[in-house]
Amino acid sequence: MSQTLSRPTGASPAGRSLLRRAARAAAFGAALLATLAQPAFAAGFVRDAEVEATLKRLSDPLMRAAGVAPESIEIRIFDDRLPNAFVYGGRNLVVSTGLLRDFPEPAKLQGVIAHEIGHITGGHLARRQIAMNNLRGPAMAGMLLGIAAAAAAGLAGGGASAAAGVGLGAGSQTAVQRALLSFSRAEESAADQAGITYLERAGVDPTGMEEVLEQFRGQEVFSTRHVDPYALTHPVSAERLSAIRRRAAESPARGDAPDPELVYWVQRMEAKLEGFIDTPSTVLRRLDPDDRSEFATLRRAVALHRAPDPDAAVAEADRLIQIRPNDPYYYELKGQILLESGRGVEAVTPYRRAVALAPDEPLILGYLGRALLSVGSPAADREALAALERGAARSDGGDPGLLRDLAFAYARTGQEGEAALVTAERMMLINQPIDAHRMAERAKSLLPAGSPSWLRADDIVVATKAMQQ
């Protein structure tokens, strides 16, 4: 579990450090984006190996049904209580934690995801090429979500106030909204029809999609004061809903029971998100103290961790490990509790076990590396470096937190040139081309000329020079 899946609580020092990490992970480097980070939509990306794996379980069969290679699409989770989902850049699918928590059933989440895949295969995004192409993925998504939230706030307030909060000019904001947010009715219907086809091929009951849209439709009809971003990015018309109803009624997959394995992972995801998002006292108050079931234990473990009560949290994590002794994510949770409560040395053993059980999870490799760096011996530094290098190699799209630790591990093992190179790459990732340029020049001066690392540094020098012109 990544530390970024935590909403800081006012009192907890652990919470404050989590906020910093979340801000880093969100990678809001550009000044433009900084203006979006206002309280109304101060949110960040959530990185969590377990939740991401659950989303892959939900979406992979749908992507295969659509003829899309699952590894070609990156799924990202945004921490926002409002339900939302959208695609951007042709290969990024974003869902909010609010969506995951509001619809904790496989068929409903798969209905939403199938519709988004329908937008991808329909090429609906290719028509929305705008002057934001140079923004890197996370920054772009953050901007879109900020605009969606502002648009929702604007609707709630009766209109024109949204633009002021976004920090873009009112004119450009309207243009951006028009360009990005509302798909046309024809596109919405096409995405629905394609989505239902993918659901059927994957054996998923399309009634789930129908139920989700009914909820958003109801909102529009019964309340003018609150419209969720999802309903804005995907307008739910009466025609659209009745077309889905007709198709779902006749679907050969109608009434198909969900895969029990998927039900398990989706409920577990809900428990974990609740533990990390709601205030610890609220989570603990909701729980029956005698409830020793797996998901109650998970909620309790996370809430106690954030309370913070690390000893009690570790005891609950150990119970989870007893229930599922070969579950990488429960060892990861135990490691996280220890690492974040300043017991990095003790965190090494559970993280090592998590990596043994899930050897290709970049996030877990990253945290093993971080735990090892806290040991402070040359052998641990070498093991940390190996774990972090493996994590970086497997991290699709890059992970700023991991790259920071990797640079630290290189420096600790006397590889200053590599440290500078990785720092330059991290600066690129968080949209800081001037710093990236400086660090890449430094890397070139330290690395053997013409070596693969020197060439990577040179690429950054060339790219940042071009960006500055």
Rounded to a whole number of angstroms, the minimum distance from the CB of residue 20 to Zn ion is 34
Q: How far apart are the first and last CA of the chain?
A: 41
Stretch that binds Zn ion, among 48-56, 180-188, 328-336, 392-400 (CB under 5 A): 180-188
CB of 191 or CB of 428, closer to Zn ion: 191
**Contact code string over 128-167 relative to Zn ion, x by CB under 5 A:** ----------------------------------------
CB of 127 or CB of 225, closer to Zn ion: 127
Stretch that binds Zn ion, among 8-16, 177-185, 318-326, 357-365 (CB under 5 A): 177-185
Rounded to a whole number of angstroms, the minimum distance from the CB of residue 118 to Zn ion is 7
- DSSP assigned state of 76: E
Are the beta carbons of 348 and 375 closer than 8 angstroms? yes
CB of 115 or CB of 272, closer to Zn ion: 115
CB of 45 or CB of 86, closer to Zn ion: 86
Rounded to a whole number of angstroms, the minimum distance from the CB of residue 208 to Zn ion is 16
Count the residues in the chain.
Answer: 469
Which residues contact residue 168 at a Cβ distance below 8 angstroms, ignoring those fewer than 6 apart? 32, 35, 147, 176
Kindly identify the residues of this chain, within the stretch 302-341, that bind Zn ion according to CB under 5 A.
none
H/E stretch holding 94: strand 92-96
Rounded to a whole number of angstroms, the minimum distance from the CB of residue 255 to Zn ion is 25
Stretch that binds Zn ion, among 230-238, 270-278, 326-334, 434-442 (CB under 5 A): 230-238
Strand order in the sheet with 92-96: 45-46, 74-78, 92-96, 85-88
Using alpha carbons, list the distances in angstroms from residue 362 to 27, 48, 71, 371, 396. 18, 10, 15, 14, 9
CB of 36 or CB of 191, closer to Zn ion: 191
CB of 91 or CB of 394, closer to Zn ion: 91
Rounded to a whole number of angstroms, the minimum distance from the CB of residue 73 to Zn ion is 16
Nearest Cα residue to 229 out of 119, 112, 145, 137: 145
Rounded to a whole number of angstroms, the minimum distance from the CB of residue 191 to Zn ion is 5
Nearest Cα residue to 88 out of 65, 49, 116: 116
- Using left for φ > 0, alpha for ψ between -120 and 50, and beta otherwise, residue 6 falls in beta
What SS3 class is residue 462?
helix
Rounded to a whole number of angstroms, the minimum distance from the CB of residue 235 to Zn ion is 8
Give the interface size with Zn ion as a residue count (CB under 5 A): 4
Residue 236, both tokens: 């739910």
Rounded to a whole number of angstroms, the minimum distance from the CB of residue 54 to Zn ion is 22
CB of 124 or CB of 444, closer to Zn ion: 124
Q: Which of 234, 247, 268, 370 binds Zn ion (CB under 5 A)?
A: 234
- In this structure, the number of other CB atoms found within 10 A of the CB of residue 258 comes to 17
Q: Does 299 help bind Zn ion (rule: CB under 5 A)?
A: no
Rounded to a whole number of angstroms, the minimum distance from the CB of residue 81 to Zn ion is 21
Residue nearest to Zn ion (CB): 234
Stretch that binds Zn ion, among 185-193, 299-307, 349-357, 431-439 (CB under 5 A): 185-193
- Using left for φ > 0, alpha for ψ between -120 and 50, and beta otherwise, residue 89 falls in left
CB of 8 or CB of 235, closer to Zn ion: 235
Rounded to a whole number of angstroms, the minimum distance from the CB of residue 265 to Zn ion is 25
CB of 234 or CB of 306, closer to Zn ion: 234
Nearest Cα residue to 135 out of 89, 177, 172, 100: 89
Residue 325, both tokens: 């002794």
Between CA 291 and CA 307 the distance in angstroms is: 19
- Using left for φ > 0, alpha for ψ between -120 and 50, and beta otherwise, residue 376 falls in left
Binding site for Zn ion (CB under 5 A): 183, 188, 191, 234
